[in-house]
Amino acid sequence: MRALAAALLLCALIGRPAAGQRPDSTRADSLRADSTRADTAATDYSALFLKTYEEGRTRVPVFPRLGRPALLPALSRLVFDRDSIEWHNAETVSDLLSKVPGVFVWRGGWIGRPEPINYQGRTTASADFLVDGMPLRALGPDSLGLDPSLLPLSFFDRVEVERLPGQLRVHLFSRRHDRLPPRTRVGVASGDLQIARYLGSLEKRSAGGFGYVVAGEYLASPLRTGDQGAFHNTQTWLQASYVPAGPVQAMVQLFRGGPRREPVLTTGADGSITSASDTLIQGLAGKRSDFMATVVYQRNRDGTGLRAALLAGASSWREDSTALALSSPDRHVRYLDQSVTQLGGTLSARSRTSSFEGQVWYRTRWTPMEVRASAASTPFGALAAGIEAVYQRHDGGRTSRWLTGRAGLVLPFGIRATALVRTGSWVATPARYDAEAVASTDLGALAAIGGARASAEVGYWRTGGFRPEAYATYRTIDTVGASGPTKWLTVSARLAPKQWLVLDGWYSNPVGVKPEGQAPTHSIVNATIQSKFLPTFRSGIFVLKLQGSMETWGTGVLGRDRVGAAVPLKGATFFRAQIQFKIGDFVAYYDRVNLQASRLGYLPDLPLLRLASTFGVRWEFSN
């Protein structure tokens, strides 16, 4: 009995910790909560901040950018990255493309009205648009040409513009999130006549390769009581992607928009409307959706080596004419609902000094078959050359065939020169079944000199004869006259004598005969003051920008009305001012147009609003 009591006492002494002994750290009731989890009572916000900061420094793979040529000679491509888009403070994609020398935007007078672009007199055939490598087709209201102002600029963080004689190829790339912490973007803007713009997005990518994007943008331009042309549009973007460490990557995304625009009609002195033929801007009411799915195989993350991609897309336009409150139903033409499905495959190989790519496309309408093959080489750093062959088969047994060649040199002292040629026969507007292929040879030559402080570029272009199409949204301009071979001169320059002062601009003019639809002696000049106030904000987190712009052109002819009479384009000059400041990723801006209160406009009877302004804030942050 005494032995049993002694054994129990010994066990008790052993189980009790000594004064200097630490308790067992594996006991369940002694485990501390994760201090970096925000849903715990014992959250350590300093640890959470440090964890997020370290994750924010870790880059994760993103989906590759498809569709653009791998190698191009100098000067043949203009790039607007995310910082450039913010710098220009462009309201729309059309506004951004006005930075390209030679682009004349047919502005309807205010935000929300049409803004189709005209480049070197080609009107609706001026530009091809691609979103993440998928060609974007014009549908619905004007199936001959796409209005870039309807594209959601806030959904894209990079725009690349290939310059060819008589044509632009605009590559739009959706935003790429390459960090582990989620990224959120919000924006609120307003302005005169109760304009309102709201945008928001959430981007997330995991270490395993999965990612998603949810984004939306709402723009409303209601105008005042009695004014015409009120506009609103809600656009959404959904994306899911899988970019693992392996060679196979996939992405699906959906863009949806629902533009609503009231027509603009001519009124008499008493404000009355005489007939439906007085329509200046055609009304718009419908929904557009673009679904895209892409699968890519590539082993090398840097883009070299072999790459294969399969692309599928489905675009549709559904019109709702009843959404327009019109006093007479014949003032709005109901367009047929349209849709097009695209299937494509690309195979490319790239090394450090050469590249090759082949593309095959099938479509359900207008251009059922398209084949492209391109090759480029830079045998040494100073020389780059490339060639592209295109074959298209259109509805009605029509075909297009052309070759594009580029060659460029980069010489000492910042001298660069590039020559371009496009020759063959092509159908400029396949959606018109009576349009036939026209043979033409277009030429271009670009030369530039300079660097970051000062640079200048001169372009000389020769475009063949062309019969342009009128924009269907502008009803008073029924046709645009055909033009013969035309020579074009473009000049652009940039001067930064001080780090805080930048002067830049461009000039474009047809030499000799002036084609209809294009503004002659057209120029845009910008003067910008930018300061980071480094003596006060040594981190460089603060940026203030003041910019003044002047756009001017001479007298010309826009087109012809229904009876064949010329529609004159009056010479005009407009001034614009912008103020923008940034604190980190927070941006606030104020933009004012038509500072001299001119009663003129880009189009007859559609004057630019006088002293009109927009202002707003945008904030982008990691959660």
Euclidean distance between CA atoms 78 and 75, whole angstroms: 7
Q: Is 7 among the domain residues?
A: no
Query: Two tokens at 616?
Result: 């707003």
Residue spans of the chain under pLDDT 50: 1-36, 38, 41, 276, 323-333
Q: How far is it, in rounded angstroms, from Cα 490 to Cα 158?
A: 24
Whose tokens are 């044509």? That residue is 167
Instruction: Please give the backbone phi and psi of residue 268, each rounded to the nearest 5 degrees, phi first.
Output: -80, -175
Residue 371 resides in a domain: yes
| Closest listed residue to residue 307, CA positions, set 295, 321, 292, 325 | 295
Our measurement of the distance from residue 285's CA atom to the centroid of its chain's CA atoms, rounded to an integer in Å, reads 23
Confidence (pLDDT) at 271: 52
pLDDT (0 to 100) of residue 512: 86
- Strand ranges (E), 112-165: 117-119, 127-131, 134-136, 156-164
Token pair 């084949």: residue: 371
Residue 497 has what pLDDT?
A: 93
Query: In this structure, what token pair is assigned to residue 385?
Result: 């050359």
31: in domain: no
Domain span at 491 = 55-622
- Residue 361 near residue 344 (C-beta atoms within 8 A): yes
Residue 400 included in any domain:
yes
- Assign residue 176 the CATH number of its domain: 2.40.170.20
Structural domain contains residue 126: yes
Residue 10 in any domain: the answer is no
DSSP 365: S
Centre a 10 Å sphere on the Cβ of residue 49 and count the other Cβ atoms it contains: 11
- Taking the mean position of all CA atoms in its chain, how far away is CA 429? 22
Task: Identify the pLDDT of residue 194.
Answer: 84
Instruction: Judge whether 366 lies within some domain.
Output: yes
Q: Which two tokens stand for residue 178?
A: 């390459």
- Predicted pLDDT of residue 101: 96
CA angle 456, 409, 493 (to 5 degrees): 10
Q: Are 490 and 507 in contact (CB under 8 A)?
A: yes
CA gap 602, 609 in Å, rounded: 11
Tokens of 43: 């959250």
Q: 3-state SS string over 226-278?
A: CCCCCEEEEEEEEEEEECCCCCEEEEEEEEEECCEECCEECCCCCCCCCCHHH
Task: Work out the number of other CB atoms within 10 angstroms of the CB of residue 19.
Answer: 4
Please state the domain count of the chain.
1
Residue 117 · residue 97 · CB < 8 Å: yes
The closest of 106, 166, 103 to 567, measured between CA atoms, is 106
Give domain status of residue 338, yes or no. yes
Label each residue of 46-114 as H, E or C.
HHHHHHHHHHHCCECCCCCCCCCCCCCCCCCEEEEEHHHHHHHCCCCHHHHHCCCCCEEECCCCCCCCC
Distance (Å, rounded) from C-alpha 602 to C-alpha 605?
9
Is the Cβ–Cβ distance between 99 and 80 less than 8 Å?
A: yes
Q: In degrees to the nearest 10, what's the CA dihedral of 191, 501, 596, 196?
A: -10
Dihedral (Cα; 25, 27, 29, 31), 10-degree rounding? 40
Q: Shortest CA distance to 614 belongs to which of 89, 131, 230, 62?
A: 89
Q: Read off the pLDDT of residues 407-428 as tens digits, 9 standing for 90 and up.
A: 999 999 999 999 999 999 999 9
Which residues, at least 6 apart from 179, have a Cβ–Cβ distance to it below 8 Å? Answer: 55, 56, 58, 59, 60, 205, 622
CB contact at 8 A, 544 and 531: yes
What is the CB-side half-sphere exposure of residue 400 using CA atoms within 13 A? 26
Residue 343 forms beta bridges with which residues?
A: 312, 362
Beta bridge partners of 494: 455, 504
Residue 359, token pair as written in the block: 């593309």
Please give the DSSP secondary-structure letter assigned to residue 148: G
Task: For residue range 456-493, list pLDDT tens digits in order.
Answer: 999 999 999 999 999 989 988 999 999 999 999 999 99
Nearest to 595 by CA among 576, 614, 578, 608: 576
